Amino acid sequence: MTDIGNLARHSAREIAEKVRRRELSALEVARFFLERIQRLDPRVKAFLRVFPKEAEGAAKKIDEKVSRGEPVGRLAGVPVAIKDNILVEGTETTCASKILEGFVAPYDASVVQKLKQEDAILIGKTNLDEFAMGSSTENSAYFPTRNPWDLRRVPGGSSGGSAAAVACRMAPLALGSDTGGSIRQPAALCGVVGLKPTYGAVSRYGLIAFASSLDQIGPLANDVADLALLFRVIGGHDPKDSTSLAGAPADEELTRLKPQISGLRIGLPREYFTTDLDREVAQAVERAAKNMEKLGARLSQVSLPHTRYAVSTYYLIAPSEASANLARFDGIRYGPSLLKNGKDTASLSLETLYEENRGRGFGPEVKRRIMLGTYALSSGYYQAYYGQAQKARTLIRQDFEAVFQNVDLLLTPTAPTAAFLFGEKTSNPLQMYLSDALTIPANLAGLCGLSLPCGKTGAGAPIGLQLLGPPLQELRLLQAAFAYQESFSWEPCPLS
Ligand code: GLN
């Protein structure tokens, strides 16, 4: 029999297998993780909402299916935490913003539907930087999430709640979204693995949009094989998302991932190993590169000359798209609406009403982005800013196309530093923006990329390495990451 106390160390694959074989009941699994959330989350604060009743109800249904001898899905009984910008029917979805307070999702995001089809258990909604804008989860309108490795430090962002929940095993798996690094950077800072799929490989239907040409939903997990499994479940073409790719992976090899790195050509882009990099981070990533060489990878130096334009390009394109996407939130039906508060609004013009509602509903970072984006798109400046940024975006993409003629994957640090202290970067937005300097280019170019642990700082904070691949090369990326992971011993987060 399975020692239930040990469940936190089980992979998602093991849990599903044991539920299928009736060595564990889905209900025991759900209760175990719900209890863990109850015990640990008051310290970590990864969840905005937890679904104990719904989770137990879904678990019971899976156990009934198993006992009737019916087939169950790939994620049978596996709890999954969902970032709160992804819709789950009948539950509140706020994007950690006051403006969406009280908004109950009328339908499931396509990824959520797929999780349900595979018998996963939706355990709760996780915290994020408001509308996924940020790198530390300090921009949540509700509360910051703490890094489970060191509660004085940030978990990264914007998917900080998802990364923290997976790191201290309040859920074996989670979904995040990555517009400029929001899966990979918190994965690095929390010592877990996170994948940003190729643009279009996972449906965005039911993801509340931040910057539509960059946003991508993706998985977070504690090991690479679990990451591949969750990607397999959520990936694939979706007719409800017009940007979803027809040839997106439905590869069964993802569900039984094999390590494979020997003979792979891995490039180290010079521009990602600059003096801005924390010394301990640089050393850990260089050590990891040597390990991969020992495993049979062929390393070479490469150059992506337009890298230095990536952050400024992103901070024109992402806010421009955000200013358009967020124009729909008027505070009339949800949020801190003046109408709702029973105030006498008859004397207000419609414009004043919107201004009041949006003024109250959005936090400072979101307002900053809306203003930046509106300015960049305004008629006199459109060519000078937005037009120019689009040209730079093309150059960045072409850099990658050129290097991928000669190498299979790229290896870089995920973030320039390990987890920083609360408040360390909040007074200087530019400093915060630079935490994503190494992840942003992949979004601008539509590539796939992942982050996985490769060491710790002297102070015990996890360090992540990033692997990038050409569009739709997730399988190769995951196989290489798996091979590296197997060669490297990683002590999981001690919080329990
Ligand atoms: N930190 C970046 C930003 O603030 C990226 C966010 C994201 O990927 N959602 O925009």
Residue at 299 is within a domain: yes
Helices and strands: H and E segment counts in the chain: 15, 11
Is the shortest distance between the CB of 182 and ligand 1 below 6 Å? Answer: yes
Pocket test for ligand 1, best of 86, 133, 162 (most atoms within 8 A of CB): 133
Mean pLDDT of 235-249: 88
Query: Would you state the structure tokens that stand for residue 294, as one six-digit string?
Result: 């020992």
**What are 419-456's pLDDT values in tens digits?**
999 999 998 888 888 889 999 999 999 999 999 999 99
The b-or-e profile of 134-149 (16+ CB within 10 A means b, else e) is bbbbbbbbbebbbbbb
**What are 273-328's pLDDT values in tens digits?**
987 899 999 999 999 999 999 999 999 999 999 999 999 999 999 999 999 999 99
pLDDT of residue 344 exceeding 80, the answer is: no
**What are 364-410's pLDDT values in tens digits?**
999 999 999 999 999 899 999 999 999 999 999 999 999 999 999 99
**What are 129-176's pLDDT values in tens digits?**
999 999 999 999 999 999 999 999 999 999 999 999 999 999 999 999
Domain count, the chain: 2
Residue written as tokens 């990038």?
A: 468
Say how far apart CA 305 and CA 198 lie, in whole Å. Answer: 22
333 compared with 214, residue with greater pLDDT: 214
pLDDT of residue 229 exceeding 80, the answer is: yes
Distance of CA 315 to the CA centre of its chain: 19
Sequence letter at residue 50: V
Q: Which CATH number is 259's domain given?
A: 3.90.1300.10
| Cross-strand pairs, 235 | 202
Gap from CA of 433 to ligand 1 centroid (Å): 8
Is the shortest distance between the CB of 137 and ligand 1 below 6 Å? Answer: no
pLDDT of residue 357 exceeding 60, the answer is: yes
Q: Are residues 43 and 141 in the same domain?
A: yes
Gap from CA of 214 to ligand 1 centroid (Å): 10
Is 244 considered catalytic here? no
Residue at 115 is within a domain: yes
Say how far apart CA 413 and CA 28 lie, in whole Å. Answer: 39
Residue at 26 is within a domain: yes
Pocket test for ligand 1, best of 182, 312, 443 (most atoms within 8 A of CB): 182
136 CB-near residues (< 8 Å, 6+ apart): 129, 144, 154, 155, 156, 157, 160, 420, 422, 425, 426, 432, 435
Return the ligand 1 atom nearest residue 183 CA. Answer: 8
Pocket test for ligand 1, best of 126, 137, 140, 179 (most atoms within 8 A of CB): 179
**What are 470-491's pLDDT values in tens digits?**
999 999 999 999 999 999 899 9
Gap from CA of 98 to ligand 1 centroid (Å): 19
Mean pLDDT of 30-57: 98
Is the shortest distance between the CB of 132 and ligand 1 below 6 Å? Answer: yes
Count of all residues that appear for the chain in the document = 496
Catalytic residue among 97, 110, 140, 158: 158
Predicted local confidence at residue 126, as pLDDT? 98
Gap from CA of 41 to ligand 1 centroid (Å): 24
Query: In which band, very low, low, confident or very high, does the pLDDT at 348 lie, cut at 50, 70 and 90?
Result: confident
Is the shortest distance between the CB of 485 and ligand 1 below 6 Å? Answer: no
Residue at 388 is within a domain: no
Residue at 72 is within a domain: yes
Predicted local confidence at residue 123, as pLDDT? 98
Of 455, 102, 427, the closest CA to residue 289 belongs to: 455
Predicted local confidence at residue 496, as pLDDT? 83
Return the ligand 1 atom nearest residue 365 CA. Answer: 4
Say how far apart CA 394 and CA 439 lie, in whole Å. Answer: 17
Say how far apart CA 310 and CA 122 lie, in whole Å. Answer: 36
pLDDT of residue 340 exceeding 90, the answer is: no
Mean pLDDT of 10-29: 97
Q: Are residues 355 and 437 in the same domain?
A: no
Three-state SS annotation for 272-299: HCCCCCCHHHHHHHHHHHHHHHHCCCEE
Q: Are residues 221 and 335 in the same domain?
A: no
Query: Would you state the structure tokens that stand for residue 263, as one six-digit string?
Result: 């003979």
Mean pLDDT of 195-207: 97
Return the ligand 1 atom nearest residue 440 CA. Answer: 5
Gap from CA of 179 to ligand 1 centroid (Å): 5
Q: Are residues 287 and 334 in the same domain?
A: no
Question: Is residue 196 within a helix (H) or strand (E), and if so which, with residue range?
Answer: strand 193-196
Domain region containing 295: 1-306+393-496
Predicted local confidence at residue 252, as pLDDT? 83
Q: Are residues 337 and 278 in the same domain?
A: no
Q: What percent of the chain has pLDDT over 90?
A: 88
Q: Are residues 261 and 320 in the same domain?
A: no
Mean pLDDT of 117-128: 98
Is the shortest distance between the CB of 179 and ligand 1 below 6 Å? Answer: yes
Domain boundary among 346, 365, 383: 383
Catalytic residue among 182, 244, 337, 451: 182
Say how far apart CA 178 and CA 83 lie, in whole Å. Answer: 11
Q: Order of strands, edge to edge, in the sheet holding 265-269?
A: 47-50, 121-126, 79-83, 173-177, 217-221, 193-196, 448-456, 462-469, 409-413, 265-269, 298-302
Residue at 332 is within a domain: yes
Domain boundary among 352, 383, 414: 383
For residue 384, what is the DSSP state? I
Q: Are residues 273 and 301 in the same domain?
A: yes
Residue written as tokens 């891995």?
A: 266
Predicted local confidence at residue 51, as pLDDT? 98
Burial class (CB in 10 A: 0-12, 13-18, 19+), 152: exposed
Asked whether the bond before 135 is cis by omega within 30 degrees of 0, the reply is no
Residue written as tokens 């908004």?
A: 103
Say how far apart CA 394 and CA 374 lie, in whole Å. Answer: 22
Q: Are residues 83 and 174 in the same domain?
A: yes
Judged by DSSP in three states, 408 sits in coil
Domain boundary among 341, 362, 383: 383
Q: Are residues 467 and 324 in the same domain?
A: no
Would you say 124 and 58 are in contact if contact means Cβ atoms under 8 Å apart?
Answer: no
Q: Are residues 3 and 110 in the same domain?
A: yes
Say how far apart CA 132 and CA 365 lie, in whole Å. Answer: 10
**What are 67-89's pLDDT values in tens digits?**
999 999 999 999 999 999 999 99
Return the ligand 1 atom nearest residue 315 CA. Answer: 10
Residue at 372 is within a domain: yes
Averaged confidence pLDDT in the chain: 95
**How far, CA to CA in Å, does 232 sit from each of 37, 116, 177, 223, 474?**
26, 14, 16, 15, 10
Residue written as tokens 């995001």?
A: 109
Predicted local confidence at residue 339, as pLDDT? 62
Report phi then psi at 306, rounded to 5.
-90, 10
Q: Are residues 245 and 127 in the same domain?
A: yes
Is the shortest distance between the CB of 178 and ligand 1 below 6 Å? Answer: yes
Is 182 considered catalytic here? yes
Gap from CA of 158 to ligand 1 centroid (Å): 6
Return the ligand 1 atom nearest residue 134 CA. Answer: 4
Predicted local confidence at residue 193, as pLDDT? 98
Return the ligand 1 atom nearest residue 181 CA. Answer: 8
Say how far apart CA 40 and CA 36 lie, in whole Å. Answer: 6
Gap from CA of 281 to ligand 1 centroid (Å): 21
Gap from CA of 344 to ligand 1 centroid (Å): 38
Q: Are residues 221 and 236 in the same domain?
A: yes
Predicted local confidence at residue 251, as pLDDT? 78
